[in-house]
Structure 1
Amino acid sequence: MTTRGYSPTSTSAPTEAPRGAYGAPTAQSPLSVTIPVPGSKSLTNRELILAALADGPGRVESPLHSQDAHRMGDALRALGVGVERVPGKSPFGDDLVITPRKTLTGGCTIDSGQAGTVMRFVAPLLGLADGEVHMTADENALHRPMGAMIKALRDLGVDIDDGGNWSLPFTVYGRGHIRGGELEIDASASSQFVSGLLLAAPRFDVGLHLKHTGKRLPSLPHIEMTVEALARRGVHVERPTSTEWIVPATTPRAKTISIEPDLSNAAPFLAAAMIAGGSVTIPGWPPHSTQPGAQLTDILSLLGGKVSRRGGAVTVSAGQTIHGVDLDLSAVSELTPTLVGLAAFADGPSSFTGIGHIRQHETDRIAGLVNGLRELGCGAEELPDGIRVIPQAMHGGTWKSHHDHRMATTGALIGLGVPGVTIDDIGTTAKTMPQFVWLWQKMLAGE
């Protein structure tokens, strides 16, 4: 059960995730534990971008230290921004001091790895750089949608050579500025296209008037998160309609920003109480948050969990049963893998819809979840824009992570109630939570 270098009795949070196959431990008794989780990836990477464009040095406290966040730091360093680690108060790693540059530097290559936020948030910055910048990604991430961003930047006058493929890799020939102005975009494939443009827009010559033209816009809370992050730095975005944003030309203020715990990464831990029994508490839960994970308290209640809040912490306790539900998850699609894992233990079928776009995440999450459940004996069907789960008795087997961190954590969640589940590569959790196995084992040990 213990994986390379990961002891449940260790007191210091690891900085790297274990690699390879992981035998998911089965819960032997009800849980009763408080588990802190590291900072939000979504907030960390937004604040790093804004700090890099600010009017002076700033500090990001309690940031997430993970593969995605490190890719963002490396991308900004390549563009000439200072990103320095300094001691902080978080048990999960140092704070970051960001020293911006008035003009970003080119002449570099940026590897976004598996990180969608790096692909979509850094791409607009490349037009602000003075010189040529080549952007690429891991081979198994080159399929992720970038066409809408490439078209948007071209419409803004940015010179991009993508070889005619409308995807990564591509090269941007930056001129040190982007004029900005009015722009239409179809961001149906990812709200990150909108967020990436909004984050860079204050540094455009005339700001940006952005309009989404598609029929749907997924993950709206993430756009609200971006707008709120801009407002904290003195950039006030006008909203003439629900799919239209006007960003003024200005310079974001340098600030010290503290990052909230990652509420979506808290999801498998809170859900664990509903499968194993007992209760799990997450401390530091913000009273208000734009993170999609903030909706977990309502969603887990619908599934039969008993949810309470006290002293800045959220506790989920097991109810008498897990209920089958029919939910539209279009606003909180990143919670889908955890909720599907819970639904496999429910008292009836569940349907999760509004999530067709998650076919284009790290993997096709809909196909991956359906196939994974079927291989363990649970009934599951693909819907045009979602998943239907038909609970049946499950057995052990290999749970495939498909290079996807949330697929891996869902395998661990299912393993709590199904002996003999092995996750083929637990190392994928390093993308957003390298401490996952360590925390999971401490949770089961009651520490």
Structure 2
Amino acid sequence: MTISDPWPAPHARGPVDAVVTLPGSKSLTNRALLLAAIADGPSVVRRALRSRDSLLMAQALTALGSRVDTSGEDWEVTPAEIIEPEPQHRAFSATIDVGLAGTVMRFVPPVAALHDGLVAFDGDEHMRQRPVGRILDALRSLGVCVHGQGLPFAIDGTGSVPGGVVTIDASESSQFVSALLLAGARYDAGVDVRHDGKPVPSLPHIEMTVAMLREHGVEVDDAEPNRWVVHPGPVKAVDHLIEPDLSNAGPFLGLAAVTGGTVTVRDWPRQTTQPGDALRDLLQQMGCHVELTADGLSVTGPDELRGIDADLHDVGELTPVLAALCALATTPSHLRGIAHIRGHETDRLAALATELTGLGADVTEHQDGLEIRPARLSGGLFHTYADHRMAHAGVVLGAAVDGVLVENVETTAKTFTDFAPFWASLFAASIH
């Protein structure tokens, strides 16, 4: 199908019933790829997410000397040290494109520091607004030579990192902590990360990192709040089977919620560290019927959506779709605890307040959240700010409101290739 810009979001004229199989988790894929690249042998990342973010991670690790075969559904990774056991010559240099991928911009520099040579980082213009300075300062305190305070920057590695204790304010992003933990076992003294600041957002993502490190045989002590100790040692080569991306389930389950239909996301895990699993409880609070079966997670929308009062501090990435649902609810909502999403792909709170208001929503923007009251919405242009989650919010609104035009819907390729045609295919006889 032709993807115009802006894209007329499909509008449902009745309940949408569908069963969907989602691509793999970006968070799990990129962590698995990075750990595979610093492991003690080759491994396979099965059902890896094929998207811009994950391909950028594969390209970054390839630039650092690893071999990442992305030709099939299962990606084979051979670490650089297996390919070239002898230390690289000082002439080694690489340039890494982070695109719009926070995991590449933040996770790869601590690994690049283990290489003997200069590694330069840059990315899309939007990415230059996202915070990375605290990671770079942390690496400096651990003995790494870093040039710059933000994109573009460079890591001048010597082949090893002393490691040790580092104090960091991770209140802007949990990725600051995960980045140091993922590479920490390969540092001479390991790494002892101590958070000092407001509460760390998206803690489930750090729990995901810790769980994956332990799967690789890495010793991690997280018994003390706001402190994570990774002991030095080998990273065991382990094959990973990637779960579906549960955060990407948001718009699809939201489609059931706004049309009164039923959408089933196949292969929903019964136990997971993904923050997207919180959708089960949140949608139930909004009046949806939610059932986890052997087939997957099924959500059936209610006759009328209820608003919610929810602290989304740990699951901030779900905010855009939830805000869209709240704008369509029959009672007021308050989404809070999410000041940190101002530093995501865009200032998501400001963007949501602007775009929802532009369609007629009654929204009050607070420093750490949004208040949304019932209002009659109408069609119009919904800007995405090169943010895939904003595009997800726009298409959910379009399913319920005729005439919504989503600008740059193709930004969804960040985590879901060909999202727009896949989304349109779910409507079948239910669109006009």
The TM tier, using the shorter chain, reads over 0.9
CA deviation vs aligned residue, 1:382-433 (integer Å, no higher than 9, x gap): 1110111112101110000110001011100000111000001111001111
Among candidates 228, 232, 237, match of residue 254 of structure 1: 237
Aligned to 2:372: 389
Aligned to 1:121: 107
Matched, 1:49 2:34: yes
Partner of 1:347: helix, strand, or coil?
coil
Question: Equivalents in 2 of 1:109, 1:309: separation in Å?
Answer: 45
Q: How many residues align?
A: 423
Cα 1:348–1:120 shift into 2, 3 Å? same
Question: Equivalents in 2 of 1:435, 1:352: separation in Å?
Answer: 30
Among candidates 423, 426, 430, match of residue 443 of structure 1: 426
Among candidates 267, 271, 292, match of residue 288 of structure 1: 271
Question: Equivalents in 2 of 1:309, 1:359: separation in Å?
Answer: 33
Q: Is the 8 A contact 2:410 2:420 kept in 1?
A: no
Cα 1:110–1:418 shift into 2, 3 Å? same
Matched, 1:31 2:16: yes
Aligned to 1:373: 356
Q: Is the 8 A contact 1:283 1:314 kept in 2?
A: yes
**Structure 1 residue 360 displacement after superposition:** 1.1
Partner of 1:25: helix, strand, or coil?
coil
Report the AA paired with residue 253 of structure 1: K
* 1:78-227 map, 5 Å: 78-87=63-72, 94-102=73-81, 106-162=92-148, 166-227=149-210
Report the AA paired with residue 112 of structure 2: L
CA deviation vs aligned residue, 1:198-253 (integer Å, no higher than 9, x gap): 00001001111111111210000000000011111111311131211111111111
Q: Is the 8 A contact 1:32 1:446 kept in 2?
A: no
Q: Is the 8 A contact 2:260 2:303 kept in 1?
A: no
Question: Equivalents in 2 of 1:274, 1:287: separation in Å?
Answer: 22
Question: Equivalents in 1 of 2:398, 2:222: separation in Å?
Answer: 45
CA deviation vs aligned residue, 1:108-130 (integer Å, no higher than 9, x gap): 11110100000110011121111
CA deviation vs aligned residue, 1:19-77 (integer Å, no higher than 9, x gap): 63210010022122101100000000000000000010000000111111111011001
Question: Equivalents in 2 of 1:20, 1:56: separation in Å?
Answer: 45
Partner of 2:245: helix, strand, or coil?
coil
Percent of paired sites with the same residue = 45
Question: Equivalents in 2 of 1:339, 1:138: separation in Å?
Answer: 27
Cα 1:19–1:213 shift into 2, 3 Å? farther
TM-score between both structures, scaled by the size of structure 1: 0.92
Partner of 1:44: helix, strand, or coil?
helix
Partner of 2:427: helix, strand, or coil?
helix
Q: Is the 8 A contact 1:267 1:296 kept in 2?
A: yes
Q: Is the 8 A contact 1:134 1:170 kept in 2?
A: yes
Aligned to 2:395: 412
Report the AA paired with residue 238 of structure 1: D
Report the AA paired with residue 243 of structure 2: E
Unpaired runs of 5+ residues, structure 1, are 5-17, 88-93
Report the AA paired with residue 80 of structure 2: R
Question: Equivalents in 1 of 2:429, 2:389: separation in Å?
Answer: 23
CA deviation vs aligned residue, 1:77-121 (integer Å, no higher than 9, x gap): 10001001253xxxxxx2110000226784011110100000110
Q: Is the 8 A contact 2:171 2:199 kept in 1?
A: yes
Partner of 2:354: helix, strand, or coil?
helix
Partner of 1:381: helix, strand, or coil?
strand
Partner of 1:403: helix, strand, or coil?
coil
Unpaired runs of 5+ residues, structure 2, are 82-86
Report the AA paired with residue 75 of structure 2: L
